Amino acid sequence: LFIDKVKSPIGEIRIISDGENLRALDFEDYNDRMEKLLKRHYGDYELEPMKNPNGVSEIMERYFGGELDAIDDVKVAANGTQFQSAVWHQLRNVPLGKTWSYGELARRIGKPKASRAVGLANGSNPIAIVVPCHRVIGANGSLTGYGGGMERKQWLLVHEGVNLI
């Protein structure tokens, strides 16, 4: 696996790629969580430094620079259960500037009563921002947990044009 680091307005980001697909993206201060996920999904692995793997580092810089749809075409592949994969796939369909509730996400994957399980899958998403788990909020419109921290979730939503009242 290849790794690069990108500075952002909300902290340094670690980008993990297999040379073809983005495999993980998380914030530097959550490195322990990322390493656990990588070990769980890939077993013994090595991270080899690579500048701009698959162009993702440049794409993230464009996203943070205001070109919000730059992330839309990033090729991703994350190891997870069939259910997790369904949730993560559907997350890419949450429109830019919009939010969905956990219940809405559950309905979209055909499991309308599984909003809690959807929440767990959403929380174990290894590819932050590009697989936009930050766009999922509580049924009452409240901001709910985010693996990168609530301040980052709020920043990302405002950056993407979500009107937080």
Tell me the catalytic residues: 133
Query: For residue 115, what are the CA distances in angstroms to 70, 102, 108, 110?
Result: 29, 5, 11, 11
Give the span between the Cα atoms of 69 and 83, in whole angstroms.
26
Q: Tell me the two tokens of residue 148.
A: 């990168």
Contact 100, 136 (CB under 8 A): yes
Q: Which of 1, 2, 10 is nearest to 129 (CA)?
A: 10
